[in-house]
Chains A and B, each alone.
Chain A
Amino acid sequence: HLTVILTASDIISTVEFNHTGELLATGDKGGRVVIFQREQESKNQPHRRGEYNVYSTFQSHEPEFDYLKSLEIEEKINKIRWLPQQNAAYFLLSTNDKTVKLWKVSERDKRPEGYNLKDEDGRLRDPSMITMLRVPVLRPMDLMVEATPRRVFANAHTYHINSISVNSDYETYMSADDLRINLWNFEITNQSFNIVDIKPANMEELTEVITAAEFHPHHCNTFVYSSSKGTIRLCDMRASALCDRHSKFFEEPEDPSNRSFFSEIISSISDVKFSHSGRYIMTRDYLTVKVWDLNMENRPIETYQVHDYLRSKLCSLYENDCIFDKFECVWNGSDSVIMTGSYNNFFRMFDRNTKRDVTLEASRENSKPRAILKPRKVCVGGKRRKDEISVDSLDFSKKILHTAWHPSENIIAVAATNNLYIFQDKVN
């Protein structure tokens, strides 16, 4: 594997490839977005083919102060989602807890020169000195990539936004917070449609929140949202304007032998993703990744153990709040492999066909460029082998919550706190 390690100045909070995989965007806790672009193939430097370099950096969100409630709204970028490319410019949505923004990223490599009324520095020329009329011409300049905010979708969420998802019609998108999901049209910023509302009439009856939501990749009327109780609801917007009644309800019955005080917390779904085919959904809860067939609601078709050795540590993980960590999960381009993060900078991949799985580590020591990643193993009890690491030595402050997979190639991006790791499967 080829490795590129890039260090950000702040904790990375989201990672996302665009639809072609040419661009990779990261958002961080400081409200910044950094976009990487893949180098074009070059015959002169074949070994550098396909490396990602910084393309654009901009400040997406600033900290805000809500004077009415006397609280500061964090600038941390919770999610970035790309729009499919429709012209020369790139468009992406980025969101913090309260506000979604549409950004346009475009290139400029020419500039007009030879204005009549001002000189090259922009200073106004003395009109009495102008004796000739000239036509400005476009001259090449150094490539400049600029990001401009095109739309700001604000004031529609009372609670914290956890998800955004672009619809396959490319005209609308949804934003979901703890209790509500809103549908937006890209052209309209001063209103949105509320399509899901699970806020109870009396807040003391609140027992469940929305944790993630996503549109179906092909059917623009279908979306899913997951809850803190481990359930997934599939909704059809053609059925009614307010989709409080689901079309399908996915829930696995609780395993009585595994019940504990923490059963509900570890069943809380932290991420839900449709497969590229649209036939399956994948959910991540604290200890497992599950694959569901849309046609079967009563249980998942596949369950993968991410770090089952933590099951006996739930009490201490509850005390230090790690049990509330929200891990994401991703499909590869062909839906044959799924990937998710864990602690100690470990991340796991599961091959759905061969049923083989591997644990890899994103760390500087183990990731020299062009070195092959060595599989890691956690030792649960008994005798620890040489390369294994024991459960009690795991570093729970090093968590991989955000990962991304290139839409068609074996290139993955893994965010480990401040560092972004890009691994490429180099086939000679």
Chain B
Amino acid sequence: MLAKGVKRPRGEMEGGDPEPRDPSAAPASSLFNISMVKLHQSLRHVEPNLRHLVLVANTLRRMQDQMQREAGGPMAPDSPEAPSVGDDLLLSAMDSSISTILEDLGQVEVLSPARPEEEQPLAGASGARQEPARTSAPCLGPLELLSSASYLLEDSLEDIFEDIDTSMYDCDLWSPTSLSGFKAFSGAEDSDSKALAGAEDRLDMSDLDYLMDVLVGGHPPGAHRGRSIS
């Protein structure tokens, strides 16, 4: 699995290669493919492991910079890289991988409407801002996905629901912390106190509901409906 590379002596390198090869490294192209696979797998989760994602993406960027530098600059005599034809193939493979990821993105966008003032919309929606980013670092493409992933849009989700009155659900009686006082003891004699406390809860809630209804005008006063809250 590990390809044995030849370790180049420092003197042989032209101009001092800033990224000397790992002596036992696999060829950069297979490392690149492995990284793209990892990126794909990471992005497939609804909540990707952010640390893993960021490290893999940064590593991909590093590889890409290296490949672009080698494609553009002079070749070292015994460089393991293929001549520029191979590099073109690599770069086009990169592009097609990225477009595949962006296609998958299309499904994510359905869940999360674009909010231009807050988040970066998908590629294609506002091409101008992303053009310069595209040409210099196509690998940024996968990270654009992050801006549309539903779980990262916590701010805009609030806006979607802002016209819904949630005051009823903010009731403290329903929060686990307020009920924890009733769970102070365990044991046979305390199940009674728990049942009593629960009944009191239910009474209060149905009273509240009834009051709300009266105030809103839905039901005439005097009609007390039974309520069951599970």
Inter-chain contacts of B89 with A (CB < 8 A) = none
Inter-chain contacts of A122 with B (CB < 8 A) = 188-189, 191-192
Are A69 and B151 closer than 8 Å at their CB atoms?
Answer: yes
Inter-chain contacts of A112 with B (CB < 8 A) = 189
State A151–B179 Cα separation when bound (angstroms). Answer: 10
Are A148 and B183 closer than 8 Å at their CB atoms?
Answer: yes
The reply on B165 being an interface residue by CB < 8 A is no
Interface residues in A191-215 by Cβ distance below 8 A to B read 202-209, 211
Of B22, B46, B55, B183, chain A has the most CB atoms within 10 Å of the CB of B55
Interface residues in B45-95 by Cβ distance below 8 A to A read 45-47, 49-52, 54-55, 57-59, 62-63, 66
Inter-chain contacts of B189 with A (CB < 8 A) = 112, 115, 118, 122
The reply on B24 being an interface residue by CB < 8 A is yes
Inter-chain contacts of A257 with B (CB < 8 A) = 20
The reply on A146 being an interface residue by CB < 8 A is yes
The reply on A259 being an interface residue by CB < 8 A is yes
User: B190's closest neighbor in chain A, by CB?
Assistant: A122
Residue count of chain A within 8 Å CB distance of chain B: 53
A 231-272 to B, binary, CB cutoff 8 A, 1 in contact else 0: 000000000000000000000000011011110110010000
B22 contacts which of A190, A203, A206, A314 (Cβ < 8 Å)?
A: A314
The reply on B176 being an interface residue by CB < 8 A is yes
Of A69, A122, A151, A204, chain B has the most CB atoms within 10 Å of the CB of A204
Instruction: Name which of A126-134, A298-306, A315-323 contacts chain B.
Output: A315-323
Q: A158-B152, A315-B22, A315-B26 given as contacts; is B54 within 8 A of A261 (CB)?
A: no
State A282–B192 Cα separation when bound (angstroms). Answer: 52
Shortest distance from the beta carbon of A95 to any chain B beta carbon, whole Å: 15
State A268–B177 Cα separation when bound (angstroms). Answer: 37
Shortest distance from the beta carbon of B71 to any chain A beta carbon, whole Å: 17
The reply on A70 being an interface residue by CB < 8 A is yes
The reply on B29 being an interface residue by CB < 8 A is no
Q: A160-B49, A203-B143, A261-B31 given as contacts; is B54 within 8 A of A69 (CB)?
A: no
Are A152 and B176 closer than 8 Å at their CB atoms?
Answer: yes
Inter-chain contacts of A207 with B (CB < 8 A) = 54, 57-58
Inter-chain contacts of B157 with A (CB < 8 A) = 68
The reply on B97 being an interface residue by CB < 8 A is no
State A160–B52 Cα separation when bound (angstroms). Answer: 12
Are B50 and A179 closer than 8 Å at their CB atoms?
Answer: yes
Are A152 and B177 closer than 8 Å at their CB atoms?
Answer: yes
The reply on A345 being an interface residue by CB < 8 A is no
A 162-186 to B, binary, CB cutoff 8 A, 1 in contact else 0: 0000000000000000110000000
State A262–B146 Cα separation when bound (angstroms). Answer: 23
State A209–B54 Cα separation when bound (angstroms). Answer: 8
Inter-chain contacts of A268 with B (CB < 8 A) = 51, 55
Interface residues in B180-197 by Cβ distance below 8 A to A read 180, 183-184, 186-189, 191-192
Shortest distance from the beta carbon of B80 to any chain A beta carbon, whole Å: 13
Inter-chain contacts of A148 with B (CB < 8 A) = 180, 183-184
Q: A69-B150, A261-B63, A264-B59 given as contacts; is B54 within 8 A of A318 (CB)?
A: no
Are B192 and A69 closer than 8 Å at their CB atoms?
Answer: no
The reply on A88 being an interface residue by CB < 8 A is no
The reply on A37 being an interface residue by CB < 8 A is no
Are B59 and A262 closer than 8 Å at their CB atoms?
Answer: yes
A228 contacts which of B2, B31, B55 (Cβ < 8 Å)?
A: B55
Inter-chain contacts of B175 with A (CB < 8 A) = 190
Shortest distance from the beta carbon of B185 to any chain A beta carbon, whole Å: 8
State A8–B138 Cα separation when bound (angstroms). Answer: 47
User: A152's closest neighbor in chain B, by CB?
Assistant: B176
B177 contacts which of A71, A189, A202, A312 (Cβ < 8 Å)?
A: A189
Q: A312-B23, A315-B26 given as contacts; is B2 within 8 A of A264 (CB)?
A: no
State A149–B175 Cα separation when bound (angstroms). Answer: 13
Are A312 and B24 closer than 8 Å at their CB atoms?
Answer: yes
Shortest distance from the beta carbon of A13 to any chain B beta carbon, whole Å: 15
Inter-chain contacts of B187 with A (CB < 8 A) = 111
Shortest distance from the beta carbon of A311 to any chain B beta carbon, whole Å: 9
Are B51 and A71 closer than 8 Å at their CB atoms?
Answer: no
Are B144 and A149 closer than 8 Å at their CB atoms?
Answer: no
Interface residues of A (CB under 8 A from B): 68-71, 111-112, 115, 118, 121-122, 124, 146, 148-152, 154, 158-160, 178-179, 189-190, 202-209, 211, 228, 256-257, 259-262, 264-265, 268, 312-316, 318-319, 321, 324
Interface residues of B (CB under 8 A from A): 1-2, 18-26, 28, 31, 34, 38, 45-47, 49-52, 54-55, 57-59, 62-63, 66, 119-120, 133, 140, 143-144, 146-147, 150-152, 154, 157, 175-177, 180, 183-184, 186-189, 191-192
